[in-house]
A and B are shown apart, each in its own frame.
Chain A
Amino acid sequence: MAAADSPSSALRRRDLCSRGIRLAGKMRSDVVDLLDTYVERQGLDASLSVAAVEGVPTAAVERWDEQTGTQRLLENLAAYRAFRVLLAQMLEEQREQLGEADAPLGRALASVLLQVSAFAYHLEELLRLESRGPPSEERAAPPPAPHLGLFERKLRGLGVLRELAQWAVRSVRDLRQLAKPGTGSSSAPGPAESP
């Protein structure tokens, strides 16, 4: 706790949080645009309800306000690492399916994938600052994408992007909580911290 509370690390944490918030904000905006493009290019109906997709980290969380700073960072990191894999799979499938025919969608997917990777790295930096390094990522090959028909794959992609959009909003909120003065990595912030 001592290292995390020093003035210089507090400043660095605040700086990382502000930049992270901007990254997440831009990422969310791009994911929302990507969702529109995806729905259109894949010939889907935007109002389609997609059941919970297996292997996709859900942003929904109970008692969000009671989470500690470290919990927030760990959950975010696990989510974005998973999205990195999922988006890479989607990009691969999309290239196979449409070849070079849909460059705009491919480019948009690639751009979001890049931002997801950058954000994951950013979260790792924040975790290092919490004097607790980020958990090592399993370098084993990711589980193979489930064998799905074309339509099921499109629905899965929709589910992935929707959940990612939610995560981007949650990440902004999480980082703002983290940036609050007096928030220790292991202490859960109360709604109003009296001095």
Chain B
Amino acid sequence: ESHTQYERVGADVTMKCGSMDWDAAVTWTANGTDIDESHLNGSYLILKNVDLTQSGQYSCYEGSSWHLKYQTSLRVGTPPKEPVLMCRSNNYPKGFYCSWHLPTPTYIPNSFNISVIHGTSEMVCEKDVFLKNRCHIRYLQLFSTVKYKVTLTVTNALGKNSTTLTFDEFAIVKPDPPESVVAKPVPNNPRRLEVSWQNPSSWPDPESFPLKFFLRYRPLILDQWQHVELSDGTSHTITDAYAGKEYIIQVAAKDNDIGTWSDWSVAVHATPWTEEPKHLTTEAQVTETTSASTSSFMPPPTTKIYDKGAVVGSGAVAVCWTAGLVLAAYGVLFI
């Protein structure tokens, strides 16, 4: 009959050889290797100040007959520290998920119990199919001012610990980053880059719960980002790119009315259209890049807010107006 024994790191462990008397002659093994008699007190095995390396299979054999009298699996570990809990709604208004982890490992099996309370009702948190430290809650009510209280308790053989999060419905809304970000040069336009993206696929209803976007871009050679906030549409044309410079571009999303910004999307790179074919100007471009990085000017940081009517920045006017008209025409078609 096999046993399992859990002990804390640093504890002193005494193992008895089953029902054998204290003065019986026995041999103990650890993972098949004989243990020196100095660790024995009679037939008891004494392990002082155990550490993780001492986890393993311990067996006790009767002296002369070598019959196996007792066997136990020693698991050395720690009681759980306060878990780290996070809840987020990336699929509003369907629901939200909570995700957790332990700040330090315990080295022994842990079980988690989560409770979600909204006002007086307890809500069900369904386990994630793939991730064992995540569960999903479906919103039963929307637009509630009553806060949600989520308590996570982690338990193992050596102890337990818990943490609680309290939040309201709107505060945890954070979409996933936009997907399929594509940036392309615009033929015959050395200062333009056309960027387009898609709503994150996890956002269930972008028509009723539209997202707004934040675009940032900079040439690889500079540290300063340019920012553009877009209240609608999933594309934008950059019109102030430095000719011939490779750009890095990212987009973030946010529900139009509530919650916080998503993380930045995967970065895409693009270089505006240039006049000569690339293979003839490689040398010239290298020289150009070198001289540009040693220049001392820094472009002023600008944040342009693109709204259907408002337009800021010369040169961008024509593009915005055209984009606005196209969007308006598109809107009319949607009646």
Seen from chain A, the residues whose Cβ lies within 8 Å of a Cβ on chain B are 10-11, 14, 25, 28, 49, 58-62, 64-65, 162-163, 166-167, 169-170, 172-173, 176-177, 180-181, 191
Interface pair B335/A61, CB less than 8 Å apart: no
Residue picked from B140, B147, B208, B209, most chain A C-beta under 10 Å: B208
Q: Which residues of A contact B243 (CB under 8 A)?
A: none
Known: A60-B143, A60-B145. 9 other contacts (CB 8 A): A11-B335, A60-B144, A62-B141, A163-B145, A169-B257, A172-B257, A173-B208, A180-B207, A191-B204
Q: Within B188-207, which residues are at the interface with A (CB < 8 Å)?
A: 204-205, 207
Q: Which residue of A lies closest to B140 (CB)?
A: A62
In the complex, A59 Cα to B169 Cα: how many Å? Answer: 12
| B319 interface residue per 8 A CB criterion | no
Closest Cβ of chain A to B288, distance in Å, is 47
| B273 interface residue per 8 A CB criterion | no
| B170 interface residue per 8 A CB criterion | yes
Chain B at the A interface: SS class: loop
Interface pair A191/B205, CB less than 8 Å apart: yes
Question: How many residues of chain B are within 8 Å of chain A by beta carbon?
Answer: 20
Interface pair A60/B141, CB less than 8 Å apart: yes
| B84 interface residue per 8 A CB criterion | no
Interface pair A64/B208, CB less than 8 Å apart: no
Q: Within B172-222, which residues are at the interface with A (CB < 8 Å)?
A: 204-205, 207-210
Interface pair B258/A169, CB less than 8 Å apart: yes
Q: Which residues of B contact A25 (CB under 8 A)?
A: 257
In the complex, A59 Cα to B93 Cα: how many Å? Answer: 15
Interface pair A10/B141, CB less than 8 Å apart: no
Q: Within B141-179, which residues are at the interface with A (CB < 8 Å)?
A: 141-147, 170
In the complex, A176 Cα to B257 Cα: how many Å? Answer: 12
In the complex, A62 Cα to B141 Cα: how many Å? Answer: 4
Closest Cβ of chain B to A34, distance in Å, is 16
Q: Which residue of B lies closest to A64 (CB)?
A: B142
